[in-house]
Structure 1
Amino acid sequence: MAYEPPFSISATTLNLIASISEQLGRLSALTEQAQALRLRRANQIRTIQGSLAIEGNTLTVEQITAVLEGKPVIAPQKEVQEVKNALAVYERFEHWLPGREADMLEAHRILMMGLVDGEGNYRSGGVGVMSGSEVVHMAPPANQVPRLMSDLFDWLGRTEHHPLIASAVFHYEFEFIHPFADGNGRMGRLWQSLILARWNPLFANLPIESLVHQHQAEYYQAIGRSTQLTDGAPFIEFMLQVIDETLKEQLNPQVTPQVTPQVTPQVVLNILSRYSGLDNYCLKPRSRQELQDFCGLKDRENFRKSVLKPLLDAGWLYLEIPDKPRSSKQRYYCL
């Protein structure tokens, strides 16, 4: 009989699907503006930073941007290589087919190039998932991995479940199998995003990984809970909650006196509209004071929070000296 992953669908899951679908409709209206303001690349950088941070990489969004631009970055060579590999994978994101096993192996080869032996191949030995010094999950034997992965891809190709559910099920089953010697977390999250992006292109640009990073403990707890119950439902609910929260942050920035607004296409559009001509002015690198004077703002802290930081976070402005963000010689520019 064809393989069927064990999972149930709760009322919470159905409600989350309805909420996500509604918000995707609202967000689609901002898509063209987001592309024009380079938010697609900025969100992709946030996605890469979040995914690698879960695995212990310490590079910041600014440093990853510098790597993307070919600028030198002072950081451990292994972490810089991880970033370069991830950027190379996401450059080919639109070409990967989620139902093609060969594409996954090729993506893993690029993602782990120069980091491990046997990149692009399933593991040949046993592997366990650790939490500190404790083994929380012992993956299936290596000789079972090719069959298990073939069954999983076969299921993905014929399932009629909603892509939001199917992507989370695939992600959980992938982590349970743990098919590679290393890079399983990164690959599982990448492939869920890929499955979702083939359903709705907006998912190619949403920084879901950033929120997974913020809820890292719950992420691993959801995997463990699903394994304990032999039911993917806890993990499905967790991932849909993360997606729902990501969409809400994109659409409804929360503004408080202590917190800079969440960067959405509309936030950046408001800034550019308020300070007409700022985009052309920044084609030449400018100091903070030059930008502040251009905007006609006298309060330095207000300028930093309401203009400078949102534009940097959105990937619209760039640091001329990314390794020294607080440098007195720092200047800012746009491409």
Structure 2
Amino acid sequence: MNNYTPPYKITSKILKLSTQISEELTKLQFTGVEKVNPMLRKKNRIKTLAGTLEIEGNFLGEEKITAILDGKRVLGTVKELAEVQGAIKAYEKLDSYRYFELDDLLLAHKILMDEILTTAGSFRSVNVKVGEHIAPQPNMVNELMINLFSWLKNSDEHMLLKSCIFHYEFEFIHPFSDGNGRIGRLWQSVILNSFNPIFSLLPTESIVRDYQEEYYKAIEDSTQIGESTPFIEFMLEMIFKSIQNIKDDNVPINVPKDDPIKRLDKIIEIISENKDITILELANKLNVADKTIKRDIAKLKEQNRIIRVGSLKSGHWEVKVYE
């Protein structure tokens, strides 16, 4: 067994996010969200597929992907349609991949890229440059990947962190001539799913798509300092956001949603006690997604019940008091 360990640091932000994610997962399990109905499961898988493809410039979108899944004919270029079909097939096998087996990752790449690349399922034999990053020489790729999978299998690090570290290291090595981004995101989902099956419901890829610039910046920042720490922090935030969103979108029918009017009053009460509270902190306190809080805040501003003084980053809230 080799002793390769990817470089990273555990920051207080990483610890805090890991704890928050673990707490939210526990809450989700209590709601029975993993027994969510098949329609919602399908909807989230479509979001995942659209998200990961859009990051790579394929904008067929959720509507057309739904039509393809339903066996309907869809207009698109040969490449676009092949990319969608490949992604559908690759994600269909999410539960059967062994996260620690390099052969399974090669199989996933073959399934994903079979109609697009003649070298699908094989490491690249050419040099690649991604932005400013010159990826390792092709003759180094095989050994680097073996070392990375050995670490993935044998490390005692928490699976949440392992999934993020792997994702970054994989993108750094860039082992294939094409499809690296899609496989990196898929494999992080494979690792997370093996840690907790709830992750197969979370469309984390669609959240990453919404923060695409930050995603690439986190990769660049990590490459610049020579460790995956900024990328781990970023991806944990994305995972946390996707959990927050599923709580809002996919709450099982038997779990009643809060009364929105009561929630508005509660927000006023909380802001009265803490004018510096953030959207995320409000979402945590009220156990809803941050996008729900954003809608509530917009409503309260509309009703002229609160105002924001200064910027979102450094400002504060003020509750309007009427005599």
Q: TM-score range by the shorter chain?
A: 0.7 to 0.9
CA contact (8 A) 1:106 1:120 kept: yes
Match of 1:236 in 2: 232
Cα offset, 1:116, TM superposition: 1.5
Shift in CA distance, 121/85, structure 1 to aligned 2, threshold 3 Å: same
CA distance in 2 between partners of 1:111 and 1:203 (Å): 20
CA distance in 2 between partners of 1:103 and 1:37 (Å): 26
Query: How many equivalent residue pairs?
Result: 256
Q: How does 1:63-82 map to 2 (within 5 A)?
A: 63-82=64-83
2:145 corresponds to 1:144: no
Match of 1:250 among 240, 246, 250: 246
Match of 1:172 in 2: 168
CA distance in 2 between partners of 1:140 and 1:118 (Å): 18
CA distance in 2 between partners of 1:171 and 1:77 (Å): 29
2:181 corresponds to 1:185: yes
Q: How does 1:73-112 map to 2 (within 5 A)?
A: 73-112=74-113
Cα offset, 1:268, TM superposition: 10
Shift in CA distance, 264/36, structure 1 to aligned 2, threshold 3 Å: closer
CA contact (8 A) 1:226 1:232 kept: yes
Partner SS for 2:95: helix
Match of 2:251 among 260, 265, 279: 265
Structure 2 portions without partners, runs of 5+: 258-323
Q: How does 1:1-335 map to 2 (within 5 A)?
A: 2-31=3-32, 35-130=36-131, 136-251=132-247, 253=248, 263-266=249-252
- TM-score if structure 2 supplies the norm length? 0.76
Quick one: which amino acid aligns to residue 102 of structure 1?
D
CA distance in 1 between partners of 2:91 and 2:24 (Å): 25
CA distance in 1 between partners of 2:14 and 2:34 (Å): 31
Structure 1 portions without partners, runs of 5+: 131-135, 254-262, 272-335
Quick one: which amino acid aligns to residue 18 of structure 2?
I
Quick one: which amino acid aligns to residue 247 of structure 1?
I
Partner SS for 1:93: coil
CA contact (8 A) 1:122 1:146 kept: yes
Quick one: which amino acid aligns to residue 215 of structure 1?
Y
CA distance in 1 between partners of 2:157 and 2:55 (Å): 29
CA contact (8 A) 1:59 1:79 kept: yes
Partner SS for 2:36: helix
CA contact (8 A) 2:4 2:147 kept: yes
Per-residue CA deviations over 1:129-170 (Å, capped at 9, x if unaligned) read 13xxxxx21100000000000000000011001101111000
Cα offset, 1:32, TM superposition: 5.1
CA distance in 1 between partners of 2:65 and 2:253 (Å): 23
Match of 1:332 in 2: none
Cα offset, 1:36, TM superposition: 2.2
Partner SS for 2:130: strand
CA contact (8 A) 2:44 2:201 kept: yes
Quick one: which amino acid aligns to residue 133 of structure 2?
H
When the two chains are superposed, the root-mean-square deviation of aligned CA atoms in Å is 1.7
CA distance in 2 between partners of 1:138 and 1:118 (Å): 21
Cα offset, 1:30, TM superposition: 3.7
CA contact (8 A) 1:145 1:179 kept: yes
Quick one: which amino acid aligns to residue 152 of structure 1?
L
